[in-house]
Amino acid sequence: MKSKILGLIAVGLLAAPPAFATVTYQFDFTDLITHPDFTLSLTYDNYVTTTGLMPLASPLPTSLGFSVIRAGTDLEGNWGFDGGNTATLNDAGAFLFDSNSFVFDSSTSVTDYITSPGTYPGLVFGNVADGGFRGVATLVVASAPSVPEPSTSALTIIAGLGLLGLVAGRRKIA
């Protein structure tokens, strides 16, 4: 009986989904009208699944004459970037610009937050102090698997032993 219970626990532990240490969203903004190309990289502990613009840990420089201080996404896979405190982004995909803001508009059929690694083509457009701009954009999403803690490794070993116990118990019965 013990071996069966340990075996079931082992299967549960081994079937758990992998955790991610970090998720990186890298935006390449190219062929910009009136401004040089630039790249932005945002790293989070997990996939971003909350709508709205959030403050960044530190400002990210751009070629637009201002640094990005807030960024965020919406349910349509779009990302907004703001150099001030007045731009907003909502679940309906509406982005309210201020003079120092821009949006990545995913041209793929995204109908939810982007929560899987991959390359997503799109467009960028926005406002700066000297007028509007637009261009081509690409979002590359990469996730790094987390390094398990020693206790997690120990549980995995125990789960493997429990699975072996389940198999051995069945062989004795047969």
Domain ranges of the chain: 2-16+156-173, 20-145
Which pLDDT score, from 0 to 100, does residue 90 have?
A: 84
Angle between helices 150-173 and 2-14 (to 10 degrees): 130
How far is Cα 132 from Cα 150, in angstroms, rounded to an integer? Answer: 52
Whole-model pTM: value is: 0.71
DSSP 8-class letter at 5: H
pLDDT (tens digit per residue) in 67-103: 999 999 998 889 999 998 888 888 776 888 888 999 9
